[in-house]
A = this chain, B = another copy of it.
Amino acid sequence: MGNSFGQLFRITTFGESHGAAVGVVIDGCPPRLPLDAAEIQRALDRRRPGQSALTTPRREGDSVEILSGVFEGRTLGTPIALVARNSDQRSGDYEALRGVFRPSHADFAYDAKYGFRDHRGGGRSSARETLARVAAGAVAAKILRVAAGVEIRAYVESVAEIAAPVLSEFPDIAAVDATPVRCPVPEVAARMEARIAAARDAGDSLGGTIRCRVRNVPAGLGEPVFDRVEADLAKAMLSIPASKGFEIGSGFAGTLLAGSAHNDPFCVRDGRVRPAANNAGGTLGGISDGEEIFFRVAFKPTPSIALVQRAANAAGEEIELRVGGRHDPCVLPRAVPVVEAMTALVLVDHLLRHSAQNGTLRL
């Protein structure tokens, strides 16, 4: 259980890193939406390994096939199954890892839970599973765009201690993708890039934070008291491998302010009531208020490093471990499209839930 996400735009992902395929079934996509494999592929290409010297050279192919739910270029309203074969499965590379618990990886916990696991490349716990999320997220993002003009933009805000300033403007996707590190501030990106290259050369890895911003979100999305927009976003983000934290609006820093400083008076601009400062980050009481939604996600340094490490195995012995294989020295750049995909999945679900009670959806 636990492999589905969403109530009304419900995805179920499947697949192990080195099994036959990874994929996703989307149940709940509205009918008549124009859709083809090429636009899903474009989203996947942003997540694909081997894009630059900063990412794993593993060539996965990641070629997506639509198995169902689309006919003559439009969605049918029936389940959309998307599958990508695992083309580059060198399982042999991983034989030495059978029964080994790599530090800060999920191996040990999977063993504890299931009593059995696919040890090759992390199996189900591999970040390769996020391919399926990005594929589904491309469909979600398209609905949001077509129905409401919603735009979602994530970027790398920090790598280790190198951080970009808060951007006053909504960043352009071209600016984000202009550098391999996916930070839209060129001079900061250059420093991040050098820092990651140095870590890679040292057999080490780095973490950081991703900022995500969403504009044109209609006011009124979110289902309190539990299915608040920020609660669902928090779950979505913490479900991404290697994520360790989430904050929305003023976040942890906001806890340092007094209420009189943090409170955000409503004012009237262009005849519309709006919060003056958007400290909240686009939601109040769990419901979107029509302002930009912005939040931040923490990612730990990739646990796969080339350095020799201490570890243990299923026989209960401590061992010395040198992990081979091909790994990202910093997962952040490739996590950007995953953050965007999960954001789209949260918001499209709330868009549909709102329409259930208010008849608001127009495609």
Query: How many residues of chain A have a CB within 8 Å of chain B?
Result: 156
- Residues from chain B with a CB closer than 8 A to the CB of A125 are 224-225, 285-286
Between A246, A249, A318, the greatest number of chain B beta carbons within 10 A of the residue's beta carbon is seen for: A246
Complexed CA–CA distance, A352 and B228 (Å): 20
Q: Is the CB of B238 within 8 A of A109?
A: no
0 or 1 for each of A329-359: is its CB under 8 Å from B? (1 = yes): 0000000000000000000000011111111
User: Does A40 sit within 8 A of B, measured CB to CB?
Assistant: no
**Copy number in this complex?**
4
> B32, B68, B236: which contacts A21 (Cβ < 8 A)?
B68
The distance from the CB of A261 to the nearest CB of chain B, in whole angstroms, is 8
User: Does A112 sit within 8 A of B, measured CB to CB?
Assistant: yes
User: Does A257 sit within 8 A of B, measured CB to CB?
Assistant: yes
User: Does A35 sit within 8 A of B, measured CB to CB?
Assistant: no
26 A-B contacts (beta carbon < 8 Å): A2-B223, A2-B228, A3-B223, A5-B226, A13-B225, A20-B67, A31-B115, A77-B113, A78-B123, A104-B264, A106-B284, A108-B273, A158-B255, A205-B258, A207-B259, A226-B235, A226-B239, A230-B244, A245-B246, A246-B246, A259-B304, A259-B305, A266-B318, A268-B316, A352-B357, A355-B357
Contact A231:B238 (CB < 8 A) given known A262-B104, A357-B355: yes
Complexed CA–CA distance, A199 and B258 (Å): 8
- Residues from chain B with a CB closer than 8 A to the CB of A266 are 101, 103, 108, 310-312, 318
